[in-house]
Structure 1
Amino acid sequence: MHSCDYGRRSTGYVRKSFSFSAHQFDLGTFVGLWHSHDDNHFLLKIYRMDDKEYSDYYNYHLNYALENNLVSEEDFFRHVWQIVQTRIKHFEIQDPFSRNHAMHRQQLEKLQRFQKYLTSIDEWNARPCHIVIAEKDELIHSLKQEIEKLTTKLAELNEYEVSLKILIDDGHLQTFIDIVQQLREVQLPSGRKLLKSDHKIPYAKMIAKYFSHGGKDIPIETARNYFVDKKGDVTIKGTSIQPEHRLFKVIPIVPAKKPQVQVRTYRGDQTGHQK
């Protein structure tokens, strides 16, 4: 039998009979969550348990009450909250110079952590109105600050946003993209590439954002089709530049240095072996 077996009476719910249960969340001689010293038995368990057990502990007693039609979920929450809040207030007014001060402080911290758990499951805003209102006001204030930050950031971004795009002459989108593709391969005199990017999508984004073709925006997917992987000289699942649109060739004035190949010679000894 569940150690919190409640029986209906006009004054609340009490335990029907005494029993010993092996379940870790049973409260032993607990006489009912609405009677006598029920708060002491309920809270003593909290003082000894880890924070990760709060949910299981709360739901263990909640489920029993619901299964036996003893109380609604909201009323159960309100009652547990009141038990915890009352004991927190009790500890807060205790003499800090009492010999039990250390124990009171530890128990207070435990209750505050359990109350934080209760706050996280309060879907009815069932806690005292002043607490709920204070939390809502704090949330509103925080959201307003976040909105102000985002508004400022958006204004900064819009300041550099493109209002007028560079117009590519009608019919020569592929010609321009061919030039960009060539620029990707241009090497400096040192032999290093002028432009470096681990991905090809930045080029497509640049074209779509800053250029227009024939008076119309260039869809990002259209530009992206020209910057896909290649197998040899053949574009894989992309759009190839047609020969008639290859009108320019990017040639460096100062060619890149070719890597020098060092040739090491070996001098043979008198026996014909190399050294």
Structure 2
Amino acid sequence: MSVTYFKPRDRFDFSKDSLDIGNPLQWDRSHFLKHFFKRVFTIRDDRIDEFYQRHLAYYLSQHPDGKEQIFFKYFWSLIERQLKVLLGTNVYDEHHLRNEREIVRLQKFTSMLISLDRWNIHKSNDAVIAQQESEIFALKQEVTRLKADLKKATAFETEGYINIPEGYRNTVLHLHLQMQELKTPEGKELMFSQTQSVWMKMICKYFREGDKEINYETIRRYFPSDKREPGDKHADIPAKSKLFTINPAKKRS
């Protein structure tokens, strides 16, 4: 019975950070396991090892012939069994979020116990299966999160694109370069980006020339990272392609 392995809480012990099991007043010892896991799920992470050592010392004090291996095996079986129960719950369970928090806590306990396991008890078939189920659960949670992130990222994706007539790609590039120079009446940049790659990626992703993809490296020379010192590889838009000029609208009275 659990009460012979784990130290019960003393009566009238109202300390908030107690590691002992149970209530400070009268409580039913037949519900020991419920109180045990209530304590497991509430103690701080940095006291997990202390929790183990405290109850091990209690067990050995109550059983002169007892061995740590026996205590460890029983402790491990409790954590392993509850972890398997939680891993088997439906993700649509009304207590799903609480179950996830408790799974993470039990995984921290198993990590601590494995580090203390000199007897390789955790390598039993049931333990290995429980560990694998735990890892599978974590992977499923990660997949769910990644799918949600992907759904958000692709919410505005489209298979369509803006088509430029053959030979007029540079004309469109010139318009984009002009847009970078536009300013608001207050003198602020109308469209600001930290790097030129944003413009190039946007053009390559959403524009086509004669229904053909626009090569990133080909247009790169028109978008220097430093406009003050564009470098030898920079090229200006040819004059014949500068067909349009963007000018501020006249102020309306």
* Aligned CA distance change for structure 1 residues 232 and 160 (closer, same or farther; 3 Å): closer
Which structure 2 residues correspond to residues 26-175 of structure 1 after superposition, within 5 A?
85-89=69-73, 115-117=113-115, 127-175=123-171
Task: Give, in whole Å, the separation in 2 of the partners of 1:246 and 1:235.
Answer: 22
1:218 paired residue number: 214
Task: Give, in whole Å, the separation in 2 of the partners of 1:85 and 1:251.
Answer: 83
Q: Secondary structure in 1 aligned to 2:208?
A: strand
The answer to whether structure 1 residue 248 and structure 2 residue 244 are counterparts is: yes
Task: Give, in whole Å, the separation in 2 of the partners of 1:115 and 1:135.
Answer: 13
* Aligned CA distance change for structure 1 residues 128 and 241 (closer, same or farther; 3 Å): same
The answer to whether structure 1 residue 196 and structure 2 residue 230 are counterparts is: no
1:31 paired residue number: none
Task: Give, in whole Å, the separation in 2 of the partners of 1:112 and 1:178.
Answer: 62
Please say if residues 189 and 254 of structure 1, whose CA atoms lie closer than 8 Å, have aligned partners that are also in contact.
Answer: no
Please say if residues 163 and 210 of structure 2, whose CA atoms lie closer than 8 Å, have aligned partners that are also in contact.
Answer: yes
Flag the structure with larger Rg.
Answer: 1
2:234 paired residue number: 238
Q: Which runs of 5+ in 2 are unaligned?
A: 1-48, 50-66, 77-108
The CA RMSD measured in Å over matched residues stands at 3.3
TM-score (norm 2): 0.51
2:25 paired residue number: none
Instruction: After TM superposition, give the deviation of residue 183 of structure 1 in Å.
Output: 0.6
Please say if residues 164 and 207 of structure 2, whose CA atoms lie closer than 8 Å, have aligned partners that are also in contact.
Answer: yes
Q: Which runs of 5+ in 1 are unaligned?
A: 1-50, 52-82, 93-110, 256-275
Task: Give, in whole Å, the separation in 2 of the partners of 1:91 and 1:164.
Answer: 60
Task: Give, in whole Å, the separation in 2 of the partners of 1:232 and 1:130.
Answer: 67
- Equivalent residue letter for 1:88: F
Task: Give, in whole Å, the separation in 1 of the partners of 2:141 and 2:74.
Answer: 36
Q: Secondary structure in 1 aligned to 2:123?
A: coil
Q: Secondary structure in 2 aligned to 1:167?
A: strand
Q: Paired residue for 1:187, among 183, 188, 194? A: 183
CA offsets 1:207-258 (integer angstroms, 9 cap, x no match) = 0111111111113333333211356585542343111111111111248xxx
How many residues are aligned here? 152
Structure with greater proportional helix content: 2
Instruction: After TM superposition, give the deviation of residue 198 of structure 1 in Å.
Output: 1.7
Task: Give, in whole Å, the separation in 2 of the partners of 1:176 and 1:143.
Answer: 45
Instruction: After TM superposition, give the deviation of residue 89 of structure 1 in Å.
Output: 4.3
Please say if residues 165 and 211 of structure 1, whose CA atoms lie closer than 8 Å, have aligned partners that are also in contact.
Answer: yes
Q: Secondary structure in 2 aligned to 1:225?
A: helix
Please say if residues 195 and 225 of structure 2, whose CA atoms lie closer than 8 Å, have aligned partners that are also in contact.
Answer: no
TM-score (norm 1): 0.47
Task: Give, in whole Å, the separation in 2 of the partners of 1:164 and 1:219.
Answer: 17
Which stretch of structure 1 is more off in the superposition, 126-135 or 180-189? 126-135
Q: Secondary structure in 1 aligned to 2:222?
A: coil
2:204 paired residue number: 208
* Aligned CA distance change for structure 1 residues 153 and 244 (closer, same or farther; 3 Å): same
Q: Secondary structure in 1 aligned to 2:163?
A: strand
Please say if residues 230 and 236 of structure 1, whose CA atoms lie closer than 8 Å, have aligned partners that are also in contact.
Answer: no
Over the matched positions of the two proteins, sequence identity in percent amounts to: 30
Please say if residues 229 and 236 of structure 1, whose CA atoms lie closer than 8 Å, have aligned partners that are also in contact.
Answer: no
Task: Give, in whole Å, the separation in 1 of the partners of 2:198 and 2:220.
Answer: 9
Task: Give, in whole Å, the separation in 2 of the partners of 1:162 and 1:170.
Answer: 22
